[in-house]
Structure 1
């Protein structure tokens, strides 16, 4: 997307305490597409850092003298802190220029990766990963409000696609790249490389992000009052249903393929790569649709996840059906982050920072609930039940989101 913005302006929010009738007109400025790209680059480095341990568990465990299951908590730690991290960053920093908040969170991620790389014991590594979880959740929570101040309102969906592209690319690249580089240079050097990538993202942010004032009146009370709005509360519920439905099945994709599709590990790796590419495509599609046909996306993306999981659960023994299901699933879920963020911006345009924090918290809760419920279903009923239940939840979430917007209209 071009960064030439000569003919496009963005309206900055009025200063805190002003009102439409206060005589203080908003100040127009050029749309900052380069700044949007810098946010996407930041998200890429943060999410890639989050996923790196998944590909390096064995060497980390061997080096520190711990089990692989214990080493796996390096991934869990980032998602757990994310439940409170996004809302915490939004409410605890009500007056600081958002440019410096984003720069500070990126710096925190760099520090986390350096500490992980040099940590002599697992406890220090785990604490360092908590810093990364705070950086990821805070950065993602703030990205909606910051992006909304960088581009016109009718291009927010496309702009969020650029930001969320960092998630898609990191999901595709982080695990295989970590495994490959870990064999070549060692796991500690891989984390130093992630820190170096963070430095690049930091430099781009410093070069391209303009000053961004806080949006609305951020703070803990604003966060609570935003969550108490009926339409926002329904939106949070729908995110938990949609994303939770996805993770109810996706967390158990490997045993599902082994029991339903009968795939060997090599074929499974190929299918997961297909899912990653489909997710990337879904994110691009969301950017094209969100600004003009958001209602179609609100129903269509969750429906794609639901249909795909049900297809796989019932007919996944056919390899062609299994692959087609994964493609549909990837496209549907890839569209969801941009879709829900654009939707939330539409129903809470005066509370974008609080809304962004709530979206991030909802996603982290969904990951926790989805994986937990999926595990119970797999153990008590079977893997097919997890996929069917997840599909129903995702579709129900799309319906709730549609009804919430209708109620707010």
Structure 2
């Protein structure tokens, strides 16, 4: 991520002053944008059955709603990092928020599945730009002593989107239509856009990223292995999670109106796990990575055989949620541990890799679902999780 952003040159006297209300409001405007972005990205997870029925596509094909933005974001992350290296971050943020609004609006009025996928592709550009630019600006919006708190607010908004935004969007769609969920998210984006327009200051980038820095990070053996592990474990999770709603409805027998509450609980548990993960990573990073791989695999192995027991299924979902809460932070920590000299370029590569994992997991999962049905999808997720052990073992002595 482009972490070096200079907002203004401050004198020593200014450095000790508290951040102003307007500066904090600018942080919350970015945080609201983050919340609406992540909500938009994963909103289809709870809406796939209804979208597939309404637009007359297969359940597996509807998973392209997750795949399309991931594929575009993979290319957009490094491209936007390089292409906007001299651009005012305020202008970039506003452009991304405006594009996100158009994406949600286009999805809401899409007359067919092709138009819906185009709308989701626009989201992919926003994803790539956000993770490489917007998150990095948050620490520069306030005084130096408050930068960590500002960044934590934005990261908390990202996590909150999975805890609150996606389940609420799913619930809204279940009592109305899936189109209404995208309209509601578009309203959130519009509010964030106005907040950014009013409160964001000029944000001039201090560093100038190049393609050579990204290539240098990529050719490093340690960085490459950590990125491969990231792609595999994220693909494993998304192959299963993308189709969790139809699994719970059709295989477990849960009523559709209960799905938002399950997703809410899943996100809440993940949020707690996210907060707890840093202390464990600091003590035994390899142990955390190994535990994640083993538990992910165990969950995916067990779920197809426990569909007849609601209690057992929910227990497994709790374990899965804990893993999901820790996985992004854990994998990002692994990537940065192995490429400290190319931290910014490695972060951009990490963003692209996560999106590759999301795209591959969703599209491969969709293919399996269309041919073999939803329960068979967990076999694919199990295989991908097991493959993650290979780069982990190869890097054991370095972690």
Other-structure match for 2:383: 389
Pick the aligned partner of 1:275 from 253, 266, 275.
266
Pick the aligned partner of 2:76 from 85, 94, 102.
85
Other-structure match for 1:6: none
Pair 1:284 & 2:275 matched: yes
Q: Distance in 1 between matches of 2:368 and 2:356?
A: 17
Q: Could you list the runs of 5+ residues in structure 1 that have no partner in the other structure?
A: 1-10, 16-24
Count how many residue pairs are aligned between Structure 1 and Structure 2. 379
- What is the TM-score when the length of structure 1 is the normalising length? 0.72
| More RCO (CA 8 Å, sep 6+) | 2
Other-structure match for 2:57: 67
Other-structure match for 1:19: none
Q: Could you list the runs of 5+ residues in structure 2 that have no partner in the other structure?
A: none
How well do the aligned residues superpose, as a CA RMSD in angstroms? 4.4
Is the 2:239–2:362 contact (alpha carbons within 8 Å) kept by the matching residues of 1?
yes
SS of 2:205 mapped into structure 1: coil
Is the 2:47–2:173 contact (alpha carbons within 8 Å) kept by the matching residues of 1?
yes
Superposed displacement of residue 243, structure 1: 1.7
Matches within 5 A, 1:7-406: 36-56=27-47, 66-67=56-57, 69=59, 73-120=64-111, 122-143=113-134, 145-147=136-138, 149=140, 162-182=153-173, 186-206=177-197, 209-214=200-205, 216-251=207-242, 253=244, 263-266=252-255, 269=259, 271-286=262-277, 289=279, 293-294=281-282, 296=284, 299-300=287-288, 303-310=291-298, 313-314=301-302, 317=306, 321-345=312-336, 348=339, 351-371=342-362, 379=372, 385-386=379-380, 388-396=382-390, 403-404=397-398, 406=399
The 3 A distance-change label for structure 1 pair 155 and 106 is same
The 3 A distance-change label for structure 1 pair 302 and 338 is same
Measured against aligned partners, the alpha-carbon deviations of 1:271-299 in whole angstroms (never above 9, x if no partner) come to 5443222112122224x538xx5453564
The 3 A distance-change label for structure 1 pair 94 and 196 is same
Q: Distance in 2 between matches of 1:350 and 1:149?
A: 22
Measured against aligned partners, the alpha-carbon deviations of 1:193-251 in whole angstroms (never above 9, x if no partner) come to 32220122223334554544435321333322332233332331221133233334445
The 3 A distance-change label for structure 1 pair 210 and 284 is farther
After superposing the two structures, state which structure 1 stretch, 338-347 or 153-162, moved more.
153-162
Is the 2:67–2:362 contact (alpha carbons within 8 Å) kept by the matching residues of 1?
no
SS of 2:208 mapped into structure 1: coil
Other-structure match for 1:20: none
Is the 1:215–1:352 contact (alpha carbons within 8 Å) kept by the matching residues of 2?
no
The 3 A distance-change label for structure 1 pair 60 and 166 is same
